[in-house]
Amino acid sequence: MANETDTGRYEPLRSASGEPLKVSLRRSLRRQKLQALGLVAPLFLFVLVTFLAPIGGMLFRSVENQIVGDTLPRTVAALGEWNPNVQELPDEEVFAAMVADLKIAREARTASRVGQRLNYEFSGMSSLFRSTARKVARIDEPPYKDALIKAHKGWAEPATWKVIQRVSAKYTPGYFLAAVDAEQTVDGDIRMLPDRQRVYLPLFWRTMLLSAFITLMTFLLGFPIAHLLATVPTRISNLLIIMVLLPFWTSLLVRTTSWIALLQKEGVINDLLVGIGILSDESRLTMIHNATGTIVAMTHILLPFMVLPLYSVMKTISPNYVRAAKSLGATPAYAFFKVYFPQTVPGIGAGAILVFILSIGYYITPELVGGTSGTFISNRIAYNISSSLNWGLAAALGAILLGIVIVLYWLYDKIVGIDNMKMG
């Protein structure tokens, strides 16, 4: 940007303050960007602290394995020279290092923690470390190999030292292997567990299957409700929307326990069926503490998340399209499925992905009404966090579940298109 002077030379345009206009515009744009960044920064920090940081911590916890190296540093260093294919047991130096490490761990009260960690890889390691930690204070002089073996015969097993050597790395795939019902043998080979011992793969499959069925049920029930809301007069639809939103004002725990009262063998539904003669008293239905209870309760709880996206899309569809199709000779059913229904697909997609993602992560409802056949993988994650204290395995299960959600979201984007999803 320049201005021609009387001498024929071009000089840059200037602002009222005498500053070149280009510089002034650049400074103004920079100021606007900083203001926008200042407005976005609190939200970004909130998302970083409450979302990205926990997920990053979970992903790190699923592979982190520093407890063995931190608790048994001398032993880990000495085992680096041991070749189990040449020597059946490590030499005296390794046993001496283990005694020194266990004495320090006993004072710091970390021996049981490292034993618990190794017990995830090889059964019996927890009792081995607890028992030895109580006796290691009396081991004052060599030979340390004989003294340790006398304290616990497990130290005479080559498998014990192989496990310690293998698990001494700072990072481990062991949690992810356990999360898919696989294991790493003492010799380092990876193998799948026998079918009767598999827990997590069937749970993942059950979670996906039940979540898909719950999504289908919410669609079958929610579509006519949303259509009714979109077609009745506004005064009536507002009242009906309040009825749809009413469950949000009731505690999730209360809604779940209410289904226990309704579905149990001595509950309201069974009593009603027996009272009107459909069932005999001996043939009451088992509808609770199984997959049926989970499906019924979760369909009820998640139904509004399907109705609202459908309603918001249906409300924007003009009824003139269906009228025009009928005026051209289409039957009501043909006009509905060929003209009206395709326009509701964005709402169906939004409701389906919302309900499905919410359902695969549900914990309270399957825990209360699911029994043994209606629990989800989230219940097992909670068990590993609160009961078995295997946080690494819980993190690995959570990371796999997160990966499944991302893959399904990617497939949805490829098949349906995320741009076609509308919430209203």
- pLDDT in the model for residue 2: 47
Output the CA–CA distances (angstroms, integers) from residue 100 to 94, 95, 115, 136, in the order listed. Answer: 10, 9, 16, 9
The mean pLDDT value for 98-109 works out to 91
Whole-angstrom Cα distance, residue 66 to residue 162? 17
Decide if pLDDT at 82 tops 70. Answer: yes
The mean pLDDT value for 200-222 works out to 94
Residue 361 burial by Cβ neighbours in a 10 Å radius (0-12, 13-18, 19+): middle
Closest CA to 350 of 420, 247, 411: 420
| Range with lowest mean pLDDT among 11-25, 92-106, 149-163 | 11-25
Residue 84, preceding peptide bond in cis (omega within 30° of 0): no
The mean pLDDT value for 185-197 works out to 83
Whole-angstrom Cα distance, residue 376 to residue 363? 7
Q: Are residues 2 and 13 in contact, defined by beta-carbon separation less than 8 angstroms?
A: yes
Q: Which CATH superfamily is domain 200-420 in?
A: MetI-like (1.10.3720.10)
- pLDDT in the model for residue 15: 62
- pLDDT in the model for residue 98: 92
Q: Are residues 378 and 358 in contact, defined by beta-carbon separation less than 8 angstroms?
A: no
Whole-angstrom Cα distance, residue 187 to residue 84? 9
Task: Please state the domain extents for the chain.
Answer: 17-50, 68-168, 200-420
Decide if pLDDT at 31 tops 80. Answer: yes
The CA-CA-CA angle for residues 303, 275, 255, to 5°, reads: 25
Quote the mean pLDDT of the chain.
86
The mean pLDDT value for 122-140 works out to 89
pLDDT band of residue 207 (cuts 50, 70, 90) is very high
The mean pLDDT value for 376-384 works out to 90
Q: What percent of the chain has pLDDT over 90?
A: 22
- pLDDT in the model for residue 12: 64
pLDDT, tens digit, for every residue of 254-312?
A: 888 889 889 888 888 888 888 888 888 888 888 888 999 999 999 999 999 999 999 98
Decide if pLDDT at 159 tops 60. Answer: yes
The mean pLDDT value for 347-358 works out to 89
pLDDT band of residue 246 (cuts 50, 70, 90) is confident
DSSP characters over 60-72 = HHTTB-HHHHHHS
- pLDDT in the model for residue 13: 64
